[in-house]
């Protein structure tokens, strides 16, 4: 699963940042798979202990454009 470019402690903080227009990117921390582009994916956080998951839509640059769930 993908992570956000910033380590958000809560899903609420993540959703608020995206809604406010902060540039948040999805990336694959393991490097075993390509970063998600132009599709729906799932972000997990925080990085150390995954307590929340969010369904998102990313653009061709892996930037999160919408949080759908």
**6-58, pLDDT tens digit by residue?**
999 999 999 999 999 999 999 998 888 888 888 899 999 999 999 999 999 99
Q: Given the DSSP bridges, would you call strands 26-27 and 3-4 parallel, antiparallel or unpaired? A: antiparallel
Per-residue pLDDT at 60 exceeds 90: yes
DSSP three-state, residue 55: strand
List the alpha helices (DSSP H) in 1-69.
Answer: 11-19
Alpha-carbon dihedral 21, 9, 51, 48, rounded to 10 degrees: 110
Task: Kindly report the pTM of this predicted structure.
Answer: 0.90
Q: Given the DSSP bridges, would you call strands 52-58 and 39-45 parallel, antiparallel or unpaired? A: antiparallel
Other beta carbons within 10 Å of 26? 24
């Amino acid at each position: 699963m993908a992570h956000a470019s910033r380590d958000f402690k809560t899903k609420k903080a993540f959703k608020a940042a995206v809604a406010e227009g902060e540039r948040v990117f999805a990336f694959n921390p393991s490097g075993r798979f390509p970063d998600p582009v132009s599709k729906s994916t799932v972000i997990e956080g925080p990085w150390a202990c995954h307590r929340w998951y969010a369904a998102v839509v990313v653009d061709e640059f892996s930037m999160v454009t919408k949080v759908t769930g």
